[in-house]
Each structure stands twice: as structure tokens, then as C-alpha cells.
Structure 1
Amino acid sequence: MALAQFTSVMLSIMFFNTTEAIKCFDCNSRNNSACLEMHIPKMHAIIPIVDCAETMGNSIHKKEFFCRKITQTILDPDHTPEVRITRGCGWVKSKRQCYKADNMDHLETVCQCFGDLCNGATPQHVTVTVAATVASLFVAFRSWRRSV
């Protein structure tokens, strides 16, 4: 019985973390080059963190906020393409974790995530973390069933 309770608590924590009080990294690599390099240790320390409900709650009411990372490749026929990354809060959810948009002047990938400061990680990192947690719970459950 204890394993079943542990499993439900872990799953609740993993999947029930969409709250209005979510905190996200907030930056744009156009004016803060550290926004590009979040995978490098200690870069998180120089990126602003915002509470989405406090920052956006007055202008966008009754929304479940989440974190978002937008990667844009700016296309200019006269210049080398430039990659920009914007991290911040989102409020209109997509059905997909990430989606792409191709426009005449830029290519864009938008990824959403639902845990505090999750927009500092790459989407693959977030997916691997969730998959590893689910796999661990599955192995623990199978071991427990065999012992019963």
C-alpha cells in the first residue's frame, strides 16, 4: 500500500504543477547574450526570474501561466542569419510541447513547459527528465508487485 501512495504522490507532483505562481526565466538574447547560453553552469545566476502571476496578472486575468522559450532565426538577405532566444511567461497553451512557425523574415520554434524555471532547459532535457521519472516509477512498481 505504501508504494501505491508514493506513486500517486510522485505522479501528482510531476503532472500537477501548473499554477498561477509559476516562476520563469525572463530574457531576450538581443539585449542579454547570457540568454543564449543557459546550458552553461552559472549562467542562470545572471538571468532575471519573474513570477508570472505578479508580472502579468494585472493585464491577463484568470489564466494558468507557464514558461516559454522561443528560438528565432532572423533572416535578412543582406546579413548572416541571427539566432535569438526569448524566455518568459506564456498564457495561451498549445496542444504540443513545441511547435514551429516559418515566416518570410524568420523561422521560429516555441516550446512551453510547466514547472518553475523550466524554460532554462532544452525541450529534450525536460522530456528526458519526465521519461526517466516515469520509467523509475514503473520499475519500482514492478519490483513491488513481484515482492507481494
Structure 2
Amino acid sequence: MTSLNKLVSLLIILGFISEAWCIRCYYCNSENNTACLDVNAYSEDIRSHIVPIVECESAIPNPGGYSFFCRKISQTIFHSHRESDIRVTRGCGWMRHSQPCYRDDNTDHLGISCQCFEDYCNSSDRLDPSTLAILFCFFAGVLYFWR
């Protein structure tokens, strides 16, 4: 195989690999799409029609060339003239935080932001792995000392 053939073959393979690395995330805001509050309340067939999904690398501008991930932001927004709103925003992120989930509270809202790194992972309310590890250790300790 000539050098040119090898180069073309390598470029084709890299094209497929980079496409496989595109992360897909739910992309919605419950302010204008109530299905965004709990996307798991709908069957997969219905969900695919009412909650947008994006491939972050092709849909979102990335100013720094960072790796994308999925993000879910849950907020309680306070209003002086009416009751508080619960808002959920799902989308893509590119600036990673040191924690998988972190609080973002101030005088006008309470919020928690979680980041995850698999397709469609911003759909769930599941516990992050570090929380599961802590719970496992706690229950293992209880069982050990109880016997």
C-alpha cells in the first residue's frame, strides 16, 4: 500500500472515530418545555418527539476547544411578587467543574448543577458514583458493627 493510500485510510478511520466521540445530550429548558422537568416521565418514543437532543460538538459553539459533556441544572428561582419557580435546564457544557455536582445558591435562586459524560446522561436524577460509594461504606459499617 502506498503512503497516499495509508494516509487516506487513516483519515477515513479518524473521521469515524471522531463521530463516535460526539456526545448526545438532552437540550431543553422547563420554562418553555415542561417535559424538561422530568424527561423520564415519558416513554422513549414520546420523549424523542418532545425533548430535543443535540450532538454537542456540532450544535454548540466551543470557544476553547474543550471536550463536551452533558449538564443538568435544577433551580428554585425566588420572586418577590409571586411563588417560586422550579426550573430545569438540560444541555451541553464544556468548562468542567471539580465536582460531578455542585451547588450554586444566591439571594435570588437555589441551584444544583450536575455534569456527566455519557450520551443522554442528563436525563436522570440518579445518584452520582461518589454518593453511592459513601452509602455502601456506611451500610457495610452498620452491618459489620451490628453483628
Q: TM-score range by the shorter chain?
A: 0.5 to 0.7
> Which residue does the alignment assign to 1:127?
129
CA distance in 2, matches of 1:93, 1:84: 22
The worse-fitting range, judged by mean Cα deviation, of 22-31 and 71-80 is: 71-80
Structure 1 segments, 4+ long, off by >2 Å, are 58-61
Match of 1:87 among 72, 78, 90: 90
Deviates more, 1:93-102 or 1:41-50: 41-50
Cα distance between partner residues in 2 of 1:24 and 1:37? 14
Q: Write out aligned runs for 1:1-148 (5 A).
A: 21-42=22-43, 44-45=47-48, 46-56=50-60, 58-124=61-127, 127=129
Secondary structure, in 3 states, of the residue corresponding to 1:85? strand
SS in structure 1 at match of 2:22:
coil
Gaps of 5+ in 1: 1-18, 132-148
The alpha-carbon deviation at position 39 of structure 1 amounts to: 2.3
1:45-64 CA-partner distances (Å, limit 9, x unpaired): 220000100012x4424210
Separation (CA, whole Å) in 1 of partners of 2:107 and 2:115:
24
Q: Secondary structure at the match of 2:81?
A: coil
Q: Contact 1:71/1:109 (CA < 8 Å) preserved in 2?
A: yes
Asked if the contact 2:38/2:123 (under 8 Å) is kept, the reply is no
- Alpha carbons 1:22, 1:66 under 8 Å: kept: yes
Q: How many matched pairs? A: 110
TM-score of the superposition, structure 1-length normalised?
A: 0.67
Deviation at 1:93, TM superposition (A): 0.4
Structure possessing the higher radius of gyration over alpha carbons: 2
